[in-house]
Structure 1
Amino acid sequence: MSELGAFLKSKRAAIAPESVGLPAVGNPRRVSGLRREEVAQLAAMSVDHYTRLEQGRVTTASDSVLNGIATALRLTDAERAYLHILAQPPVRSRSADPGGAGRPAVSTLLRDLLEAMKDVPVLVIDPRGDIVAWNDIAVALYLDFAEMPARERNMIRMLFLEPRVRGMHQNWDEVAAVSVARLRMSVGLMPGDRRMAEVVSELLDRDPDFRRWWGGHEVLATDTFRKSFDHPVAGRMLLDWQALTVAADPELTMIVFTAPPGSATADSLRMLGSWAAG
């Protein structure tokens, strides 16, 4: 089954029939959630068209059809955007690397900026989540990225498969679930990318938690989140991260970790910065 079909099937299965005015049992009702014909009725489209879309026999659809399906399935804004991405795949840019072998170059100005941000951990990642640059305090917060093989230096891979990173997250379940949902959106935006497929394949093969969340077809597009760390040097820290696009190179994203001014975590960050500088 195509990703589009699997996504639609998972979302209609999650809707209780009675929530849209349909009987929960009867006729008989052999499937959980909504039937295909019920989704088609709610979306004001033919059953045949919806069935062919879910089965992968139709790979594109108009905005009006997709909006009708999104409304029928009560999709969130992120899920609605993802549905459009799957049914209307984005055109890859010339700089996109379908083989995943190339990495965006990090400019000297961006590296100078990272060096100047001595009290704020910053990572620079590419569209696949591979870490391509960092500052000293980010090393102090996480680990020495330079010692890792480049293909293992990936944000979500480390979250699941690097014991030091996985163990330091006190709210690991929450962070991991959100990260998987963000990854699904990224995969949709980069159809055919081999490096992205490699990361997903390894995680599916090696981690049951990832398999469970990936099978749920949840999608998120959030650019902010709070992480609770238990750091071996700085102790308990509540850090907010933000994903900021680098204007000079939209393929790169800065992940910036901050703490509210005057908080205990802000004090811990300053201590961590001094420790990293020493």
Structure 2
Amino acid sequence: MDNSTEVREFLAARRARLSPADVGLPDPGGRRRRVQGLRREEVAILAGVSTEYYARLERGQIAGVSDQVLDALAGVLQLNEDEREHLTNLARAAQTSRRPRRPHRAASPLRPSLEAALNAITGAPAFIRNGAMDILAVNDLGRAFYQPLYAAPPAQPNLAIFNVFAPAAQTFYSDWIAAVDATVAVLRQEAGRDPYNKRITEVIGELSTRSETFRDRWANAQVRRHDATAKTALHPVVGDITLQLVGTSLIAEPGLSLMIYTALPGTPAQDQLHLLGTWAATHTDSDEDAAAHTHPEEQR
């Protein structure tokens, strides 16, 4: 992604969502405002910088901005924790904008120890993804949970591509638009954190080019970490199920995240996960038995 474009879109969108009353400015009364939200000069005054300086920032010229100014802007624009982090990441990326792009991590393979750790999680769906939302590895229960994705898996399963393009996603998620919004928010956050990752840029480019829905949602410039939220799905095997997502970055593997879906104790989801685990074991065993009894020539 182009850092200047992202800075411009992000600051303009955050400014547009606020009214003068939101930041304690006098109500303009019946006078018609030519811009949606705050004016640039209003943001500048509240942040303690000149209008010209803020205008340069909103044009994407954010390299060299001080932490004090970033903090002031975050306060004026009422950024939440995720948005503050995103703004900081954009400023850091601008400092190194002349750095050549590093090659993105190949989709596979993962270290055997990571695969083993993932497969040791047997009571919850879990997977490892990169910043582009490629699923690099998944445990049995995770494969069963995302059954619509793995029913006819692509060469490289990607949650963003599935969420936006797959017809099955529109029935899998109880609120498909919310799932697209979450995809947009995650990709923006990841792109701000790792702006030189070619794979992230490729995925965003494909989604933007082929999906009007994604383009419309991208224009909102939403940013959100996706590591502590509820995930509700209409699963083809266990029906409506609500799980709690817990995600964490892998310290030894920068850019990769471990995502785990858990069921709260005493909830119907706990029984549904047990049922899904039983189905997954039976389904896997059946597949292995079928492969074992297939004639070698047929396997070719």
Amino acid at match of 2:43: V
Matched with 1:121 is 125
Partner of 2:165: 161
**Which has the larger displacement, 189-198 or 20-29?**
20-29
Which residue of 1 is the match for residue 21 of structure 2? Answer: 18
**2:155 counterpart (147, 150, 154):** 150
- Per-residue deviation, 1:101: 6.0
Q: Which amino acid aligns with 2:274?
A: R
Indicate which of 200, 218, 222 corresponds to 2:222: 218
Partner of 1:54: 58
Q: Which amino acid aligns with 1:185?
A: Q
2:233 partner letter: F
Cα pair distance change 1:266/1:66, threshold 3 Å: same
Q: Does 1:7 align with 2:10?
A: yes
CA deviations over 1:116-144 (Å, ceiling 9, x no partner)? 33332111112221111011222221136
Q: Distance in 1 between matches of 2:67 and 2:114?
A: 39
Q: 2:237 aligns with which of 222, 228, 233?
A: 233
- How far apart are the structure 1 equivalents of 2:36 and 2:220? 15
Residue 79 of structure 1: aligned partner: 83
One-letter amino acid of the structure 2 residue matched with residue 65 of structure 1? V
Contact 1:159/1:165 (<8 A) preserved: yes
In structure 2, C-alpha distance between the alignment counterparts of 1:58 and 1:159, rounded to whole Å: 33
Confirm whether residue 268 of structure 1 aligns to residue 264 of structure 2.
no
Q: Is the 8 A contact 2:63 2:95 kept in 1?
A: no
SS in 2 for 1:238: strand
User: Could you list the runs of 5+ residues in structure 1 that have no partner in the other structure?
Assistant: none
Aligned equivalent of 2:200, options 193, 196, 202: 196
Q: Which region of structure 1 is more displaced relative to structure 2, 215-224 or 103-112? A: 103-112
Q: Does 1:67 align with 2:76?
A: no
Contact 1:124/1:131, CA 8 A, preserved across alignment: yes
Aligned-partner SS, 1:119: coil
Cα separation, 2, equivalents of 1:79 and 1:25: 31
- 3-state DSSP of counterpart to 1:78: helix
Letter in 1 for 2:231: K
The ranges of structure 1 where at least 4 consecutive aligned residues each deviate by more than 6 angstroms after the TM superposition are none
1:10 partner amino acid: A
| Partner Cα distance (1:190, 1:250) in 2 | 10
Cα distance change on mapping 1:210 and 1:18 into 2, 3 Å: same
Percent pairwise identity: 34
1:90–1:125 CA distance, 2 compared to 1 (3 A): farther
CA contact (8 A) 1:104 1:251 kept: no
Question: What is the CA–CA distance in structure 1 between the aligned matches of 2:31 and 2:247, rounded to whole Å?
Answer: 49
Structure 2 gaps, min length 5 = 283-300
Question: What is the deviation of 1:216?
Answer: 0.4
TM normalised by structure 1 equals: 0.88
**Match for residue 46 of structure 2 among 42, 45, 61:** 42
Would you say the 8 A contact 1:90–1:189 is kept in 2?
Answer: no
Q: Is the 8 A contact 1:18 1:24 kept in 2?
A: no
Q: How many angstroms apart in 2 are the aligned matches of 1:87 and 1:114?
A: 35
Which amino acid counterpart does residue 66 of structure 2 have in structure 1?
A: S
Deviation at 1:28, TM superposition (A): 6.3
Tell me the CA shift for residue 68 of structure 1.
1.5
